[in-house]
Every structure is written in C-alpha cells, then in structure tokens.
C-alpha cells in the first residue's frame, strides 16, 4: 500500500479538513483552551465511562505495542479517537491535537504547565493522591470491564502475560513478578507525575542530542517500512500479533527517539530506580504531554511516507504475504467519541495512510528530507559484521568510508544488541573511547549516541529479553577526524563500541555497520 497522491510532489494532495499545528504556533497554541476543557470533562466522567481520562489511559496500558511494526499505526488510531473525544467533550468541532516538535523546541511548552495540562495539578489529586485513592476510584470499573471482555480480547491479554484481572493489576503496580519493583510501577502519585517543572522544562542533554534535525533525518532515511536488516528498516520488527513482543526485540532508530523523550519526561536517570513519573511507563497518557509527543511521532511517520511516495517506494510492508500479515491485524480496545466500542475491523487498512482520516500536519522538522532524499543503491551499501568479547564490540571497516576528505565517505548505521538489564533503561554508546571511560558528554568526540528501553521489562511475557538498537553514528566522532593512509582500498580501521553502565549484561548480537549511500 502506498500513500495516495496525484503526483510525485509530496505537497500535491489537497489540505485535509483538519490540520494539526505546532503547539508553539499561534494556531497550535489556540487549541490548548479546548484541550484543557476536554481534559477537565474527561477527568469528571465516572470511571464506568470509557472516555474517562484514566480509563482512556488504560487502553494504552492494556494494548499498546512497542518494539514491533504496529507501533506507529496503533498509536495513530489511539490519537485519532482521542482527538474525536476531545472535539466532542470540549464542544469545539474545529479542535485538532497540536504537536510538540521537540527537535525545534526541546523544552515542554510553558502552557503545558497550566491547569489540567499538567498531571501535577491539584485537579488530579482527587484521583492520584496515592495508590489507595486511585484504586478506590478506578479498580471496580476496570474489573467490570475486564469481566466483559470477549474471547479475542482475553487472548490479547494472555499474550501480554495477563491470565486474569489480578495479573494486570499487579503489573500496573510493578508487583507481578515477585517483590514489587518501584521502577516498573505504571501509577504515579500526583506530586511526581511529571519530572519537568515550569522552571526547568528542558529534556536532558542526551535526549536533546538524539532528536536534532540531523538525527531525525537519519531516522527517516530507511527506504523500507520493514527489513530484516535492522539498519535498513524504518519500523521495528514483525511479530505474530501486535500484543506480542518479538523474540529478539529490535528498536528502530525512529522508535528510539520516542523512547528517549518518554524517559526524559518520566525522570529516568535522576529518579532511578523509581518510582518514575507517568511518561516512563505504560500509563503515560495520564500526562497530557503524551498526546503532543505522539502527534509529533505521527507527523514524522507521515513525513517518511511522503518521502517514500516522492521516491515511488512502498510505504508499507513488502514481500510474500507481508501486507496481509500487517494490514489484517485487529485492535480490539478502542472507543469512539460516543463511548461506543470501535468495530473490530482490520485496523491498519484504514489507518496506515492519513488521507482517508481527513487530517494532516503543518510542516515541521524533517520535511527537508522529502526534497533531498534519493533512492539508495543497494549495490553501494556494505554490511560489516563485528565480534563481541562480552562488554565491547569491534568491527573493521575500510578507512575510505571514514575519511572526511574522501568523497566516498558514508553514514555509518550501527546495529548492536544485548540482554536487557533489570533496572537501567538509558545507555550511551561510546566509539573508540579511551579504556576505562565510563561516561562522556554529548560534545565528546567519542559519543556515538544514546539508546533507550521504554516501559518495564515485561518479563512475564513469553519473550527473550534480548534487544537490538539501531543508531547512526554522528559525524562529530573522532574516527572521522583521524588521518588515514593513502592506500584506502586495503587499509581498515577498527571501530570499537562500548556501552558503559551495563551492570553485568553482555553483548549478545554481532553488531554490523552498514554504509548507507
């Protein structure tokens, strides 16, 4: 399936009925009044109403896919119906979700600290003062909802490791697997519901370094929606169902950006080992910034799709039966603006492309790639596999690909994997750093980028804890500054990757450096 367009000009399609604007623009900021009004109504709805603020957040907790190829489309559906609910409850038929272009403005907008636009506001305290208050309010109706689930929904719950309501509830508390783990608790008390404050709204430095416009263009560069070569894949991998994690989890470069922003707002790092703020776990939609963050993710996916259309490339899965496996998936937990269940149709068929949904985005970061991208010549792309000695991985590549004075220099896309640790979620990749180096600043010539897990480990699911991450090494690295010999055809240079703060886990995947054209 390709994005519809009357020509190869990515802007040839007519403007949609609804346009989502940058929250820092006049039009985007104007939407916050209706957003605030809609949130207040959702907070005031009884817990039996699926449009209640916390009930809608629980849809994400119960069903959200991360680390597989349904990640973008599931969240598109989630935002699509949420926007309709706000439109209905705010009584503003023109409402559209603003997006937060965090590449352009790396701090949470000041306006998102006003009233119910922050989950630390007093209006939330009547529900999230503490876990007892939250339980008394939401648990009885959540239990009734669970008991009303059909066989297909219960099967999805079983895929997530929930054989009964109590399993789900214990997981929300971070207590499903033995002793409670504060870092895995999805619930956040009012006072710690968001890590940033009005006086300090910025994301952390490592996240900011990972979401620059250059980094976004790197994430949008792949020319396959999904490829078994993770360095060439826009999406994370295929799984048997959206509710199942892959046996070898793989986070695409695109999804890593999502994870880092979530973790920064959730306080991962400064609040280790937990409890964290809302955005760090699967009840993250309790924080209204969630929807602005994901509107930006959705916008970037659309930028990638329009780039594909301009290059006359597919925007969805390809290969034998790949389309059927992707497009036939059903999402079973959504409700519409009238509190009615959304019919269980093959969701990706209806939501993969924007045009049938009648909304689009005002331009933001990443748009430039639509005009500058060229088709990648597969004959001009090389894969170099490395070896691991446990905590360090090394690979040799021809030095001509590293020499900035040489016209054949290419982007180095790294795929590296390891077993997920029990606690830490964010890690930095160091490249050819001096021995015993455990941390560097983002301006260091040895800083290769950051990678991040989102949410708890979910070890109760039948899945491997091994994960693979894909990043593009920045051109600021020391390896690009070295002086290389003239005989570049035969010379090779070692590229050593380290991930400090590993706390005992080992590399378990042979890293590869792919030289993209």
Mean pLDDT, residues 41-54 taken together: 99
Q: What are phi and psi of 158, to 5 degrees?
A: -65, -35
Residue 347, SS3 per DSSP: helix
**3-state SS record for 66-121:** CCCCCHHHHHHHHHHHHHHHHHHHCCCCCCCCCECCCCCCCECCHHHHCHHHCCCC
Report which of 295, 293, 239, 263 is spatially closest to residue 454, judged by C-alpha positions.
263
- Residue 35, both tokens: 């957003």
Is residue 110 within 8 Å of residue 380, measured between CB atoms? no
What letter would DSSP give residue 202? B
- Statement: residue 178 has pLDDT above 90: no
How many CB atoms sit inside 10 A of residue 110's CB? 10
Read off the pLDDT of residues 307-323 as tens digits, 9 standing for 90 and up: 999 999 999 998 877 87
Mean pLDDT of the chain: 87
Report which of 309, 251, 284, 245 is spatially closest to residue 427, judged by C-alpha positions.
251
- Residue 153, both tokens: 């929904």
- Statement: residue 325 has pLDDT above 90: no
CA distances from 184 to 172, 249, 277, 281, 468 (A): 8, 18, 11, 7, 21
Residue 478, SS3 per DSSP: helix
- Statement: residue 435 has pLDDT above 90: no
Residue 465: the pLDDT is: 59
Q: Where are the domains of the chain?
A: 18-116+191-372, 378-516
Strand partners, 22: 99
What letter would DSSP give residue 473? P
Residue 501: the pLDDT is: 57
Distance in angstroms (rounded) separating the CA atoms of residues 177 and 271: 22
Distance in angstroms (rounded) separating the CA atoms of residues 351 and 408: 40
Report which of 461, 464, 480 is spatially closest to residue 472, judged by C-alpha positions.
480
What letter would DSSP give residue 24? T
List b or e across 274-302, with b for residues whose CB sees 16 or more CB atoms inside 10 angstroms. Answer: bbbbbbbbbbbbbbbbbbbbbbbbbbbbb
For 13-22, 360-369, 426-435, which range has the lowest pLDDT when averaged over its residues? 426-435
Architecture of domain 378-516: Sandwich (2.60)
- Provide the CATH number for the domain formed by 18-116+191-372 in this structure: 1.10.1280.10
Report the share of the chain in percent with pLDDT over 90.
61
Residue 345: the pLDDT is: 72
Distance in angstroms (rounded) separating the CA atoms of residues 206 and 449: 8
DSSP string, 469-507: EEEEPPTTSGGGTS---S-TTT-EEEEEEE-S--TT--B
Q: What are phi and psi of 107, to 5 degrees?
A: -110, 150
Answer positive or negative: Cα dihedral of 419, 424, 429, 433: negative
Residue 511: the pLDDT is: 53
Report which of 143, 124, 133 is spatially closest to residue 277, judged by C-alpha positions.
124
Mean pLDDT, residues 175-193 taken together: 93
pTM, two decimal places? 0.92
Is residue 503 within 8 Å of residue 423, measured between CB atoms? yes
For 26-40, 167-181, 196-210, which range has the lowest pLDDT when averaged over its residues? 167-181
What letter would DSSP give residue 490? T
Residue 509: the pLDDT is: 46
* Spatial CB neighbours of 408, under 8 Å, sequence gap ≥ 6: 400, 401
Residue 336, SS3 per DSSP: coil
Residue 405: the pLDDT is: 67
Strand partners, 497: 393, 431
Mean pLDDT, residues 184-211 taken together: 97
Is residue 97 within 8 Å of residue 81, measured between CB atoms? no
Label residue 232 by pLDDT band (50, 70, 90): confident
Mean pLDDT, residues 376-403 taken together: 73
Label residue 407 by pLDDT band (50, 70, 90): low
**3-state SS record for 400-456:** HHCCCCCCCCCEEEEEEEEECCCCCCEEEEEECCCCCCCCCCCCCCCEEEEEECCCC
Label residue 139 by pLDDT band (50, 70, 90): very high
The answer to whether the 18-116+191-372 and 378-516 domains have the same CATH topology is no
Helices of type H across 160-288: 165-172, 205-210, 213-219, 253-266
Distance in angstroms (rounded) separating the CA atoms of residues 190 and 127: 9
Q: By CB neighbour count within 10 A (0-12 exposed, 13-18 middle, 19+ buried), where does 136 fall?
A: exposed
- Prior bond of 275 cis (ω within 30°): yes
DSSP string, 111-165: GGGSGGGSTTSHHHHHHHSSHHHHHHHHHHHHHHHHHT--HHHHHHHHHTT-SSH
Residue 10: the pLDDT is: 42
């Amino acid at each position: 399936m390709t994005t519809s367009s009357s020509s190869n000009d990515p802007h040839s399609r007519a403007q949609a009925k609804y346009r989502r604007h940058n929250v820092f623009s006049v039009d985007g900021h104007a939407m916050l009044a209706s957003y605030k009004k809609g949130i207040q109504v959702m907070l005031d709805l009884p817990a039996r109403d699926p449009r209640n603020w916390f009930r809608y957040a629980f849809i994400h907790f119960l069903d959200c896919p991360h680390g597989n190829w349904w990640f973008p489309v599931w969240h598109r559906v989630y935002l699509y119906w949420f926007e309709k609910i706000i439109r209905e409850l705010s009584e503003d038929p023109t409402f559209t979700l603003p997006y937060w272009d965090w590449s352009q403005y790396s701090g949470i907008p000041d306006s998102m600290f006003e009233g119910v636009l922050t989950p630390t506001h007093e209006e939330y305290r009547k529900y999230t003062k503490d876990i007892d208050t939250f339980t008394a309010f939401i648990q009885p109706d959540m239990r009734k909802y669970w008991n009303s689930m059909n066989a297909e929904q219960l099967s999805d719950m079983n895929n997530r490791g929930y054989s009964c309501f109590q399993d789900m509830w214990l997981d929300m508390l971070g207590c499903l697997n033995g002793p409670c783990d504060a870092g895995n608790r999805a619930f956040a008390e009012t006072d710690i519901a968001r890590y940033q404050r009005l006086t300090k709204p910025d994301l952390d430095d490592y996240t900011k370094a990972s979401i620059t416009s250059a980094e976004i263009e790197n994430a949008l560069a792949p020319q396959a929606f999904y490829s078994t070569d993770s360095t060439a894949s826009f999406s994370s991998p295929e799984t048997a169902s959206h509710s199942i994690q892959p046996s070898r989890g793989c986070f695409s470069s695109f999804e890593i950006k999502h994870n880092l922003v979530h973790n920064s707002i959730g306080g991962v790092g400064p609040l280790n080992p937990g409890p964290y703020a809302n955005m760090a776990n699967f009840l993250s939609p309790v924080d209204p910034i969630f929807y602005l963050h994901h509107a930006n993710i959705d916008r970037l996916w659309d930028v990638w799709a329009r780039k594909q259309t301009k290059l006359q490339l597919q925007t969805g899965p390809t290969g034998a039966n790949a389309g059927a496996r992707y497009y036939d998936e059903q999402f079973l937990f959504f409700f519409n603006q009238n509190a009615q269940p959304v019919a269980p149709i093959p969701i990706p068929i209806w939501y993969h492309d924007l045009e049938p949904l009648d909304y689009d985005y005002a331009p933001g970061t990443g748009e430039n790639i639509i005009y500058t991208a060229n088709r990648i010549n597969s004959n001009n792309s090389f894969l170099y596999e490395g070896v691991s000695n446990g905590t360090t991985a090394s690979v040799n590549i021809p030095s001509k690909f590293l020499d900035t004075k040489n016209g054949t220099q290419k982007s180095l896309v790294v795929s590296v994997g390891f077993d997920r640790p029990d606690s830490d979620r964010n890690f930095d990749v160091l490249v050819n750093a001096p021995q015993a180096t455990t941390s560097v600043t983002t301006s260091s010539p040895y800083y290769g980028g950051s990678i991040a897990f989102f949410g708890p480990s979910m070890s109760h699911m039948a899945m491997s804890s091994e994960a693979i991450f894909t990043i593009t090494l920045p051109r600021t690295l020391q390896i690009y500054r070295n002086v290389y010999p003239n005989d570049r055809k035969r010379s090779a240079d070692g590229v050593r990757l380290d991930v400090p703060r590993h706390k005992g886990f080992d590399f378990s995947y042979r890293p590869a450096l792919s030289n993209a054209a």
